[in-house]
Amino acid sequence: MKIQGKRLDMPPEVVVPIIRDSGEVFFKASAVLDFKEFDTVCPPPIPPMIQRKGESVPTPDLADKKYIDACDKYARQRTNYMIVKSLSTTEALEWEKVKMTDPSTFDKYEEELKESGLNQFEIGRLINAVMEANGLDESKIEAARKRFLALKVGQA
């Protein structure tokens, strides 16, 4: 695919240095382009079906409390997966508690980072880098939107 005759650049990577007296450690956060692995181990919840009076076909009950709770859990697991998968591009990083085949372990990334000696501020920097690499940096999105609109005004 091309846009205006150009291919998109490679997915972004954000490098986060962690500085210690003994030296630096560099984490890398990369864009997660494919969630097939996640979808395989963690399929999205399916709402229960209800039969409404006067209707011949059952409809999904999107207001079901268990379904809503399952959707919330699914969204948290997907975000945790994105964080773990993105940081996994860091050279020689080995997760000990997080297993990519077990969604119930995806939330253990923060515990592992703490146990490895990172403080809350450093963990926050890593999560921000993951969000930036995955295009979720709102300030950059807003700046790009303003540049686009300025171009449109200039063309008018």
* Distance in angstroms (rounded) separating the CA atoms of residues 77 and 74: 5
pLDDT along the chain (156 residues), means of 10: 76 89 94 93 93 86 94 96 96 95 95 96 96 78 73 62
d(CA 138, CA 103): 27
pTM: 0.80
Residue type, 37: E
CB neighbour list of residue 108: distance below 8 Å, 6 or more residues apart: 97, 98
